[in-house]
Structure formats: C-alpha cells, structure tokens
C-alpha cells in the first residue's frame, strides 16, 4: 500500500532548503522510532541541490549519523571516477563523515566486470545489511523524459532489488540501478525537480499514475510520497 502524493511547489532557491529540512526532520523521527535509518539517494543537479542544502543545514548536527546508512539509487558503469555519481556527491559524503557517519555506512555500487555482476553484488550487500525491506527515505530526481535513477521510459525491468542497463538512452550506455520495486518499499519517497526543462514532464506526471513511459509516476513511498517542485518546474496551480 502506497501513500497518496503530497505535491508542493516552492519558489526559487527555497526548494533545496525546504526539502533538506523535511528529510532531516523525518530522519530524526525515524531514528527515534526504529533505532536506525537509511537514505537512498540520487545525483544529478537536483540531487546535488538537496545534498548541498542538507550539508548546510544546522539540523544535520542533531542526527546520530552512526545509525544512518546511505545507499545509491543508481550508478554509471565506468572505470573513470569522474563519471561516477559517487564522485559527484563526494563533497556531501565528506560532510556526513565529518559529522560522524562511519565510512562503512556509505555503500556505493561496486565496479566489477559488468553492470550485471555489479548490480547483483549490490543487491547482496543490501540484504547483508538488512535493508531488503526498503530504505527509510529515498530522495530522487527525474529527467526531462521522466526517468528516475537509471530506470528509463519503457525499460523499467527487474523484479529484485537491483537491475542493470546495457543500452541506456542517456549516456553512458552501461549503468546499474535499484528497481522501482525497491524504491517503492521505502517508507518515504521524495521526488524533487527544479529545472525549467522538466516542466513538461512534471505537468504530465502529476496527473498520471504508474505509467511505464514516465517512470517518475511510480514514485511513491509506503508512508509518504513527497513530490516537491520549484515554480520553474511546475506552476503554483495544477
């Protein structure tokens, strides 16, 4: 059972701060309730926006980061570290470690011999750490085509926790990703979009549910489905 969408539109640069505060406060409550928590994060411009805002938030100081785990929603398959989502978010990860998150609580996708092998290894790691039932909070962004993580229109295959892509419509061709099934196991799912070029897909997505040609329409959590947009992406009335 998924929670109903809660759609909010924020003006300008307030979006990142608003989403970061909401995620941090919800994480604090989940830690108090369950003893540990986990984030499932994505990179990209909107993912970075949220990460920067979390890094700068005074609320971060109130979290017991030793009890928080961080997983990645997807990763590019590449031997070039500059292409990796992990590297894109490394300043954010350094802030978390500076506030007390153990290195072992940050779990990147491995780079093994193939995307398939890497994705399967990541799934085993999720099981090993006991998060196969879902993460606490997933904060994701969507592309102008509606893709989420590395789940592209008409290509949301994968029944387990992870999947892989050998022919991505967006370069690089080879990628690893969690499945939409795993995303939807999260207690809370945040879908964040702030760019003007995402306006057309956002206006479609808010009126549609579970369309395989718009993966973003599947983004719902078990307890909370928080769709957060800037006024550039979605008008105030919709």
Q: What is the pLDDT of residues 123-170, one digit of tens each?
A: 999 999 999 999 999 999 999 999 999 999 999 888 899 999 999 999
Residue with token string 């993966």 = 215
What is the model's pTM? 0.96
Instruction: Name the DSSP class of 103.
Output: G
Phi first, then psi: give them for residue 229, nearest 5 degrees: -125, 155
Q: Once rounded to an integer, what is the mean pLDDT over residues 47-54? A: 96
Residue with token string 């109903």 = 4
Phi first, then psi: give them for residue 154, nearest 5 degrees: 75, 5
Q: Is 95 inside a domain boundary?
A: yes
The enclosing domain of 124 has a CATH number of 3.40.50.1360
What confidence score (pLDDT) does residue 113 get?
98
Indicate whether 188 pLDDT > 70.
yes
Strand order in the sheet with 162-165: 74-76, 175-178, 162-165
Q: Is 236 inside a domain boundary?
A: no
What confidence score (pLDDT) does residue 184 get?
98
Q: What is the pLDDT of residues 80-114, one digit of tens each?
A: 999 999 999 999 999 999 999 999 999 999 999 99
Indicate whether 238 pLDDT > 90.
no
What confidence score (pLDDT) does residue 199 get?
96
Q: Which residues of 178-194 are buried (b: 16+ CB within 10 A; e: fewer)?
A: bbbebbbbbbbbbbbbb
Please give the share of the chain, as a percent, with pLDDT higher than 90: 95
Q: Is 57 inside a domain boundary?
A: yes
Task: Supply the range of the domain harboring residue 173.
Answer: 5-230
Q: Is 237 inside a domain boundary?
A: no
Q: Is 210 inside a domain boundary?
A: yes
Q: Is 235 inside a domain boundary?
A: no
Q: Contact, 157 vs 146, CB < 8 A?
A: no
Instruction: Name the DSSP class of 157.
Output: -
Q: Is 142 inside a domain boundary?
A: yes
How many domains does one find in the chain?
1
Label residue 1 by pLDDT band (50, 70, 90): confident
Label residue 29 by pLDDT band (50, 70, 90): very high
What confidence score (pLDDT) does residue 123 get?
98
Q: Is 238 inside a domain boundary?
A: no
């Amino acid at each position: 059972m998924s929670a109903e969408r809660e759609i909010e539109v924020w003006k300008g640069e307030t979006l990142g701060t608003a989403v970061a505060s909401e995620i941090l406060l919800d994480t604090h409550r989940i830690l108090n309730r369950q003893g540990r928590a986990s984030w499932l994060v994505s990179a990209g411009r909107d993912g970075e926006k949220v990460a920067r805002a979390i890094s700068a938030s005074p609320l971060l100081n109130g979290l017991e980061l030793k009890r928080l785990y961080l997983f990645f929603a997807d990763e590019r398959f590449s031997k070039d570290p500059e292409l990796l989502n992990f590297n894109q978010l490394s300043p954010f990860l350094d802030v978390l470690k500076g506030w007390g998150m153990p290195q072992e609580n940050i779990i990147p996708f491995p780079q093994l011999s193939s995307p398939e092998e890497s994705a399967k290894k990541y799934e085993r790691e999720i099981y090993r750490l006991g998060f196969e039932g879902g993460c606490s909070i997933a904060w994701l962004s969507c592309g102008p085509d509606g893709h989420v993580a590395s789940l592209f229109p008409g290509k949301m295959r994968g029944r387990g926790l992870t999947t892989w892509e050998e022919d991505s419509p967006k370069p690089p061709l080879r990628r690893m990703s969690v499945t939409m099934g795993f995303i939807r196991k999260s207690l809370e799912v945040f879908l964040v979009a702030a760019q003007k070029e995402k306006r057309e897909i956002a206006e479609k997505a808010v009126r549609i549910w579970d369309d395989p040609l718009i993966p973003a329409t599947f983004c719902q959590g078990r307890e909370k489905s928080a769709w957060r947009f800037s006024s550039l992406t979605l008008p105030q009335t919709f």
